[in-house]
Structure formats: structure tokens, C-alpha cells
């Protein structure tokens, strides 16, 4: 796109050479990308932290970043076994130290044997270390009750995000009315909308039913699909289970219905299952799409294309910074699978320490190992505390007039609905802000609590939400929920 005349003459008047890259000449798709989880509200939170450090007086003493599912940043302790093995892999001289249990040493040696030059510092093959892919396959087989998994269909990745982007790149094609459409749940995790904007694909929204605890309804999928077919070519359907930001856990019946729908309509299925360890609600259970698809038998099991994603960033591990994850593909065209490997090879390989960490997550200590008891206890404690925090969050919000929160059945977030008075909505419009963004900005400035407005995830017209992680330590979470409820009451009073 050419520079506007005004831009050129202004630069020329200043005797400056034109910049090759300007907002007008850059890739327009990148300008459309938005990522609410690290958006303007988070940048302001960083500024406030800086001001507090400089001694600027605020109505609060610390900024609480409840905007992102970053467990360790919120004070969760790393799982001992994971870090012991990783320490041994990073610094093999420690293998002679009596400080480390024997099973951790055996595990580290096994991983190092599989690395180039026996070092985590060497590149691996692009799809990930073969030994670790075999361990992932065995994990999937155990998880799914014996259904086999083929290591050749498993690709390790830089967190689940990178694998999701890779699969979307394979799917996106066409222009005009033949442009690829991708169905994504609303509310959604902004990785999807951001990637589709960057790839210039068409985002096709299907709404989860808030009145039924964020249930996924096939009738709504049908509505979204038939409307989309007027202006694009829908080719993929994304499901996030357990849900982010909504925290719902899909029933087996629902997953079967989604698979039948995708099969009948010729859609590639993408199952984002990174919260599979995070299920808290009584009666809720995680079923993988792979397991349900296989057990449905022909024609589905033999034909329906599926990519499912998992990661070390969530669960009980919370090891976001190591960027470890994988995708398993089912019924993918072998030629396309080769193209996928080619695409991954351009990026060389996923971080090898992240691959090592993933290996421990998919094959944790067994009952005969010295580390077993401590590992089990630490894992149980993390998940039990998350379950208690999920309950507390739902309870406190639902006791607050004007806030309504569905049960947090799984994952790490609540997505409560807030009533905002008409005058607050009007004031937000005057400021050029989404009403829930206005609410979240005021919340941050007056309490130091950083949450993400629902408009960053998508929501039904006329409803307002925010996403808040349930990760802060119990006492801090209780205080945060009370401050948030008090603020809502005060805000409502101010604008009523």
C-alpha cells in the first residue's frame, strides 16, 4: 500500500529519508491482531507496578495480576520431581550428588541419552525427541483406557499455542468467498482470533450457552455454519475442553454430538485439551476427543480428522515458561502430515528443556519409585487447592448483587457476568471504551486488581463479563474477591 502524500511531504520537509516500514506499509493483517490477555489493561498494570516501586501513593500496596493463567507467578510451588530431573539434565555433574533420588537420576540419564551429544543444548529433530514422543504415545494410551497412539502422529511443540498455529496455517486457503472459515467458541481464548486475523482467515463465532453453564449446543453450531457459508468456506471447528475462559467441562454425549456434526459437515476438528488435569466439579469428567472418536467406531473412527493439543503450562504443573506441549493428529492425510513436519522444520525444533519437562509429565514416578509418594502428594495438594478456589470464587461472586458466576467446573478461570448501570455504559461510550473495559480499568486504578474484560474474549451483545484466574493463594484470593465485590457495589452506586 502506498504512503499517503501527506506522510511523504512531512518527512521530506524535515529532510528525513522515508521509513520503509510504517503503519501504512506494514502487513495489514498484523495490525488487526489483538490479544486481550496481554492487552492495554495489562500494560497499565505494569506502569502501576513501576509507579508503586517509585513510591507513588496509590489506594493499594500491590498490583494483583489475575489476568493470566501463570501458576508460578501467582505463588504455586513447582513440583519437586520435575525440577530435580530438569536440574540434573541441565547440569549433569549433579548426577553424582547424593542430594537427588535415584529415580530422578535414572530419568535424567535416560533423557540425556536421547539428546544429541547427550546435552539439552543440542537441537532435536523437528517433530521432537523420538523417545519423548514414544512416552507421549504411551501416556495417551493409558489416559484413553488402552486405545493405541502412534508416536509418528505426535509432534512436540513450543507450548500448545505453537502447534495450534501450525495446524491453522495448514487449513487456511482461498480468497473472497472461498477463504477458509474456522468455527471458534464465544467466549474464546484470544489465541484463536489473533491467529485467524494474522492468517487472514474468517472467524466464525458459535456462542456457548451461559444460561446452561456455558454448554455447547449443536443447534448453535448449525446456525453459525449455515450463516458462514454465505461468505466463506468453513473447514475447521475448534473446541476448548475444559473451557477457557468459561471453565465448563464437556459431557461425553456433547463430544459425540460434536464429532457427528463435524463428520456430517466435513469439518476438521481441533480439540484444545490443555486443561485436562483441571476438573473440579462433582460429576464432571474429562473425556478426550480421541477416546470418544475411537469408541464411536466406523465411519467416524476411521475418517474424522482430528488434532488434539496438550501442554505442560497448566494442569498441576503450571510450567508455562518452559513452553512444552504436543499435538496428536488422527486420520490426517499422510501427504499433509509431511507438509506439517516441513513447516515445523523451518522453526528447527521446540525448546529441548520443554520437551524434557513434558517427558516427566507424561511418565511421572510409578509406585515402586522413591519419588512416588512426594510426587503424588504435591500433585494432589495443587489440584485440591484449585478445586477449593473454584468453589470459593463461584460462591463469593454469586453472593454479590449484580454479579453472576457459573460453576467453575474445570480449567483455571471464572468468567462472571457483571451488571453495569446505564450511566456507566454511557460514560464508557463517551470515552470510546467497551463498557466492561471501562469497568476493568477503574477496578485496576482503584484496587490494583488486574482482570481482562469479557469483550476481549467475545460475548453476547448487551452482556458484560471479565475473566479472572483462580490461581492466587487462598488468602489472597479471598481478599481479592471481597475487594472486587466491594468495588462493584461502589461502582454501581456511583453510576446509578
pLDDT at 397: 92
On whether the CB atoms of residues 243 and 273 are closer than 8 A, the answer is no
Instruction: Indicate whether 299 pLDDT > 90.
Output: yes
What is the helix (H) or strand (E) element at residue 240, kind and residue range?
A: strand 233-240
pLDDT in tens, 156-180: 998 888 998 889 989 888 888 889 8
pLDDT at 293: 96
Q: Which domains can be identified in the chain, with CATH numbers? A: 31-75+379-495 (3.90.1150.10), 123-362 (3.40.640.10)
pLDDT in tens, 407-435: 999 888 999 999 999 999 999 989 888 89
Q: Which three cell numbers stand for residue 133?
A: 514422543
pLDDT at 11: 59
Burial class (CB in 10 A: 0-12, 13-18, 19+), 439: buried
pLDDT at 3: 47
| Mean pLDDT within 197-213 | 89
The model's confidence at residue 197, banded by pLDDT at 50, 70 and 90, is confident
pLDDT at 13: 66
pTM of the model: 0.87
Q: What is the DSSP string of 156-205?
A: EEEHHHHHHHHHHHHH----GGGSEEEEEEES--THHHHHHHHTT-EEEE
The model's confidence at residue 475, banded by pLDDT at 50, 70 and 90, is confident
Instruction: Indicate whether 206 pLDDT > 60.
Output: yes
pLDDT at 21: 75
The model's confidence at residue 38, banded by pLDDT at 50, 70 and 90, is low
**Rounded to whole angstroms, what are the CA distances from 483 to 200, 444, 446?**
41, 11, 10
| Mean pLDDT within 309-322 | 89
| Mean pLDDT within 137-152 | 96
The chain-wide mean pLDDT, for the chain, equals 89
Which residue in this structure is represented by grid cell 495443587? 382
Which residue in this structure is represented by grid cell 510426587? 375
Instruction: Indicate whether 4 pLDDT > 60.
Output: no
Lowest mean pLDDT among 25-29, 108-112, 408-412: 25-29
pLDDT in tens, 226-237: 999 999 999 999
Strands (E), 316-458: 324-330, 403-404, 413-414, 417-418, 449-450, 452-453
pLDDT: which is higher, 441 or 1: 441
pLDDT at 340: 86
The model's confidence at residue 300, banded by pLDDT at 50, 70 and 90, is very high
Amino acid at each position: 500500500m502506498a504512503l499517503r502524500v501527506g506522510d511523504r511531504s512531512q518527512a521530506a520537509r524535515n529532510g528525513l529519508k522515508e521509513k520503509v516500514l510504517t503503519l501504512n506499509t506494514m502487513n495489514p493483517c498484523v495490525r488487526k491482531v489483538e490479544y486481550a490477555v496481554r492487552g492495554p489493561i495489562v500494560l497499565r498494570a505494569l506502569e502501576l507496578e513501576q509507579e508503586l516501586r517509585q513510591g507513588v501513593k496509590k489506594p493499594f500496596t500491590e498490583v494483583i495480576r489475575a489476568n493470566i493463567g501463570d501458576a508460578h507467578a501467582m505463588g504455586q510451588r513447582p513440583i519437586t520431581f520435575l525440577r530435580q530431573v530438569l536440574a540434573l539434565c541441565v547440569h549433569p555433574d549433579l548426577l553424582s550428588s547424593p542430594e537427588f533420588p535415584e529415580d530422578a537420576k535414572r530419568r535424567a540419564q535416560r533423557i540425556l541419552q536421547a539428546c544429541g551429544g547427550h546435552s539439552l543444548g543440542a537441537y532435536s529433530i523437528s517433530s521432537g525427541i523420538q523417545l519423548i514422543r514414544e512416552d507421549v504415545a504411551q501416556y495417551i494410551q493409558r489416559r484413553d483406557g488402552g486405545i493405541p497412539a502412534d508416536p509418528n502422529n505426535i509432534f512436540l511443540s513450543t507450548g500448545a499455542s505453537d502447534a495450534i498455529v501450525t495446524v491453522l496455517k495448514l487449513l487456511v486457503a482461498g480468497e473472497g468467498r472461498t477463504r477458509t472459515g474456522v468455527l471458534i467458541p464465544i467466549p474464546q481464548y484470544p489465541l484463536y482470533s489473533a491467529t485467524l486475523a494474522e492468517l487472514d482467515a474468517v472467524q466464525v463465532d458459535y456462542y456457548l450457552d451461559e444460561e446452561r453453564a456455558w454448554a455447547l449446543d449443536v443447534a448453535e453450531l448449525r446456525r453459525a455454519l449455515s450463516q458462514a457459508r454465505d461468505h466463506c468456506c468453513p473447514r475447521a471447528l475448534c473446541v476448548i475442553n475444559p473451557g477457557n475462559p468459561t471453565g465448563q467441562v464437556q459431557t461425553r454425549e456433547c463430544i459425540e454430538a460434536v464429532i457427528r456434526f463435524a463428520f456430517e459437515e466435513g469439518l476438521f476438528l481441533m480439540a484444545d485439551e490443555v486443561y485436562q488435569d483441571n476438573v473440579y466439579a462433582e460429576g464432571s469428567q474429562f473425556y478426550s476427543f480421541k477416546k470418544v472418536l475411537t469408541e464411536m467406531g466406523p465411519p467416524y473412527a476411521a475418517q474424522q480428522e482430528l488434532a488434539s493439543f496438550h501442554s505442560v503450562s497448566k494442569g498441576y504443573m503450571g510450567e508455562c515458561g518452559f513452553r512444552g506441549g504436543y499435538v496428536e493428529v488422527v486420520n490426517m492425510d499422510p501427504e499433509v502430515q509431511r507438509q506439517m513436519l516441513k513447516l515445523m522444520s523451518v522453526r528447527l525444533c521446540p525448546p529441548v528443556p520443554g520437551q524434557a519437562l513434558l517427558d516427566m509429565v507424561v511418565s511421572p514416578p510409578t509406585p515402586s519409585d522413591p519419588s512416588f509418594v512426594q510426587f503424588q502428594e504435591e500433585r494432589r495438594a495443587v489440584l485440591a487447592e484449585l478445586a477449593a478456589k473454584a468453589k470459593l470464587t463461584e460462591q463469593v461472586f454469586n453472593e454479590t448483587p449484580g454479579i453472576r458466576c457459573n460453576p467453575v467446573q474445570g480449567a483455571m478461570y471464572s468468567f462472571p457476568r457483571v451488571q453495569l448501570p446505564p450511566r456507566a455504559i454511557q460514560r464508557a461510550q463517551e470515552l470510546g471504551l467497551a463498557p466492561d473495559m471501562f469497568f476493568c480499568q477503574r477496578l485496576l486504578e482503584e484496587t490494583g486488581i488486574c482482570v481482562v474484560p469479557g469483550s476481549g474474549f467475545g460475548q453476547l451483545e448487551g452482556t458484560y463479563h471479565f475473566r479472572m484466574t483462580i490461581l492466587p493463594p487462598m488468602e489472597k484470593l479471598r481478599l481479592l474477591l471481597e475487594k472486587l465485590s466491594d468495588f462493584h457495589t461502589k461502582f454501581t452506586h456511583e453510576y446509578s
